[in-house]
Amino acid sequence: MEAYFNLKKEGNKVLLAICDEELLGKTLRDGKIVFKISEDFYKGKKISVDQAVSMIENSTIINLIGNECVKKAIENGYVHPEAVLKIEGISHAQIMKF
């Protein structure tokens, strides 16, 4: 399984956005929630989900959308399962390190 990741650095902050490859460009809706998986935010390089999730270690703000990348982040101890939001059955999680 592959994912897109986009890495942005500003000062000592590192923003990492990861999405499962098949979700790029889609819009998810659930009630009042409208979640656009935009190419501007998520599209960078395409790599394996394992490689993308390993980048969490050196990032300070992380945005994950997709069942595969969120599952892998949970397996690696970065995300607690109860912190996952489901939008149209798709997992979404955010991490902020202080």
**What's the CATH code of the domain at 92?**
3.30.1860.10
pLDDT digits (tens, 9 = 90+) for 35-83: 999 999 999 999 999 999 999 999 999 999 999 999 999 999 999 999 9
Q: What is the pTM of this model?
A: 0.94
Q: Which domain holds residue 43?
A: 2-96
Number of domains in the chain: 1
Q: What is the pLDDT of residue 53?
A: 97
Instruction: Quote the CA–CA distance of 75 and 42 in Å, as a whole number.
Output: 22
Strand order across the 45-48 sheet: 45-48, 2-10, 13-20, 61-65, 90-96, 85-87
